[in-house]
């Protein structure tokens, strides 16, 4: 699939210093898009900007997107540079049994994965409506369609983001704004380091490389594809889960004792 449609786009990319974020920044820059990079680590953002093709980065805007003032600064920069694309990529994950998960971790995931992209979208939407071929890209997860044990809070945030994307796409059908929602499966990034990596290894889950996921996101953007689930088995599982969830229940029940062992629970019942 040609990515020529990305040329000339002015993209706001949150979570730019993460594994997928850095890979996506390179794909976009290599295809002649212009970038406003955002992330919490200013030094990492600056290093990424220096590593990309000359002229591809038009602004570096450090900030935590869970902070209202940081979101406003980014929206103001986006408006000043006439950005036509918002890519909501920043997020957090924590593999843990729900009863053992700390309240502050749950609140942090809700803020980063759901509230922040919703609020940044709300801030940028009025200006985006006046751009040529405006685009909002929300990067969710296959766990936004399949509730997975050990990820109850994370799934809640990604189910919410999927619902937000779907509802907003329908709300904006009479405007030029396109909504693209991409759902990666497990990806080899720092966000999954630790319990997530151990769990994927123990269960034999397929883990994608960030470069592969970045290319899939870029293709979805070029096609204005409303929804993309990455991975053929995952696309099948999501359809089965929607129609016959009891089949997925039984499949995941077979993994439960191993999952609880990896996550350190002593409450497994035999």
Q: What is the mean pLDDT of residues 144-160?
A: 96
At 264 the pLDDT is 77
Name every residue whose Cβ is closer than 8 Å to that of residue 31 and which is 6 or more positions away in sequence. Answer: 3, 4, 6, 7, 218
Q: What is the pLDDT of residue 258?
A: 87
Whether 99 and 44 have beta carbons less than 8 Å apart is answered as: no
Mean pLDDT is lowest, of 132-146, 159-173, 200-214, for 200-214
Q: Which residues pair with 182 in a beta bridge?
A: 139, 228
Average pLDDT, the chain: 92
pLDDT at 268: 35
User: What pLDDT score does 3 carry?
Assistant: 94
Q: What is the pTM of this model?
A: 0.92
Give the pLDDT of residue 203.
63
Q: Residues 22, 87: contact at Cβ < 8 Å?
A: no
Percent of the residues in the chain that have a pLDDT greater than 70, as a whole number: 93
pLDDT above 50 (res 266): no
Residue length of the chain: 270
Beta strands in 47-192 (DSSP E): 57-62, 85-88, 135-139, 178-183
Q: Which range (12-16, 31-35, 67-71, 254-258) has the least confidence?
A: 254-258
Pairing of strands 10-13, 85-88: parallel
Evaluate if residue 200 carries a pLDDT over 80: no
pLDDT of residue 109: 97
- Class at the top of the CATH hierarchy for domain 4-234: alpha beta
Write the DSSP string, 68-83: HHHHHHHHHHHHHTT-
Across 184-205, average pLDDT: 72
| Per-residue pLDDT, 139 | 98
Residues 6+ apart with CB under 8 A from 2: 222
How far apart, in whole angstroms, are the C-alpha atoms of residue 107 and residue 163? 19
As given in the structure block, the two tokens for residue 201 are 């290894």
Average pLDDT score over residue span 83-94 = 96
Q: Is the pLDDT of residue 269 over 50?
A: no
270 is written with which tokens?
A: 């035999």
Gap between the Cα atoms of 119 and 125, Å rounded: 10
Domains of the chain: which residue ranges? 4-234
């Amino acid at each position: 699939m040609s990515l020529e449609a990305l040329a000339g786009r002015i993209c706001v990319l949150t979570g730019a210093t993460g594994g997928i974020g850095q890979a996506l920044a390179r794909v976009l820059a290599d295809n002649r898009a212009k970038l406003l990079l955002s992330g919490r680590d200013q030094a990492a953002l600056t290093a990424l900007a220096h590593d990309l093709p000359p002229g591809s980065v038009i602004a570096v805007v450090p900030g935590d997107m869970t902070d209202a003032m940081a979101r406003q600064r980014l929206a103001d920069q986006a408006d000043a540079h006439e950005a036509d694309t918002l890519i909501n990529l920043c997020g957090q994950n924590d593999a843990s049994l729900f009863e053992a998960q700390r309240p502050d971790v749950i609140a942090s995931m809700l803020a980063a994965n759901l509230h922040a992209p919703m609020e940044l979208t709300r801030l940028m939407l009025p200006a985006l409506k006046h751009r040529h071929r405006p685009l909002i890209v929300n990067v969710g997860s296959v766990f936004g369609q399949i509730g997975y044990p050990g990820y109850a809070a994370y799934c809640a945030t990604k189910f919410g983001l999927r619902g937000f994307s779907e509802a907003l796409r329908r709300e904006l059908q009479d405007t030029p704004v396109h909504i693209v929602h991409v759902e990666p499966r497990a990806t080899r990034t720092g966000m999954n380091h630790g319990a997530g990596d151990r769990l994927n290894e123990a269960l034999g889950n397929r883990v994608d490389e960030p470069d592969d996921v970045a290319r899939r996101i870029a293709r979805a953007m070029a096609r204005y594809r409303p929804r993309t689930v990455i991975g053929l088995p995952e696309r099948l599982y999501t359809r089965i889960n929607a129609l016959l969830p009891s089949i997925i229940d039984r499949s995941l029940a077979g993994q439960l004792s191993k999952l609880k062992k990896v996550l350190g629970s002593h409450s497994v019942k035999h």
